[in-house]
Amino acid sequence: MPRRDVPSRREETAGPGVEDRLGALPDEALKHVLSFLPSDDAVRTCVLARRWRDLWKSTPALRITEPECRWKKPEDMNEFVNHLLLLRDRSPLEICELNSYPYHTMSEQRDRPCRYIQLWIRYALAHKARMLRVLIHNTNGYFELDSAPLVSRHLIVLELDGVELGKRALDFSTCPSLKALKMTNCFIKAREISSQSLRHLIANHNFFVRRSRTLISAPSLVSLQLNDVGGRTPVLQSSWFPFHSMYDALFSKLSAYYLDAAKKV
């Protein structure tokens, strides 16, 4: 009986006479390519060939995007993500993007789309995610994140959308590498946004609690963007300015006062 040649890695993913340029790439390059795909699409590549079977397990990105287009109901999405994290290996993450399944109710059913969000965030931080994006899609309210501060020596970029942030949620003393924070459509109850390392802060279309003014305490800050602020406008801690004095403090308070007054006109 004639001996059958074992197909090479290139031949596994390409037909006879077809040059497989993608298959010629090293595994690390393929994982990098997979990191740009939504996670469910990355998992589907396991059927391409034997070589692809386990590549998704060590892809350095977790991307849960457009859930309403990918799953029929939130329970299906939750089941997929939980199984994905269970089967994934211990490789560190560069990026974690979590989009909730859209919901339009304030009833008990609102917990279904976001039931495991906190668990997934903890997973991402435990796996050294450098960029974390959490986007909650709810037309009738906010999703309350755990009020305990995030803990990560690796997190550099944090983006939050549609969440409620409690008194200690924006204390980043346990995130010494954080450089950029973006908050959009959030309800902010935090008394202070505190970080020694933060350099860029963007806050768009947020509502700050009225009973006290949120203090921004960030000595390394080089850029600040505040747009469409609801509630009481936050104020920069004046002692961080290069030439701080009582005039700096007065100017900071007056600026916040006039911004608040302008919204009432």
pLDDT by residue (tens digit) across 69-114?
888 888 999 999 999 999 999 999 999 999 988 776 555 455 567 8
* Structural domains counted in the chain: 1
Beta strand spans in the chain (E): 61-64, 95-99, 131-135, 143-144, 157-161, 163-165, 180-184, 187-188, 192-194, 200-204, 207-208, 215-217, 223-227, 230-231, 235-236
Q: Is residue 60 part of a domain?
A: no
Asked if residue 162 is part of any domain, the answer here is yes
Residues spanned by the domain of 200:
65-264
**In a domain? residue 40:** no
**β-pair type (157-161, 131-135):** parallel
240 found inside a domain: yes
Reference 168, options 150, 184, 154; nearest CA is: 150
- Indicate whether 11 belongs to any domain: no
Under 8 Å CB-to-CB from 205, ≥6 apart: which residues?
184, 185, 227, 228, 230
Q: Classify residue 154 by its DSSP letter.
A: S
Centre a 10 Å sphere on the Cβ of residue 219 and count the other Cβ atoms it contains.
12
- Residue 2 falls inside a structural domain: no
In a domain, 149, yes or no: yes
Mark the ranges of the chain whose per-residue pLDDT is less than 70.
1-20, 104-112, 139, 238-265
pLDDT of residue 11: 47
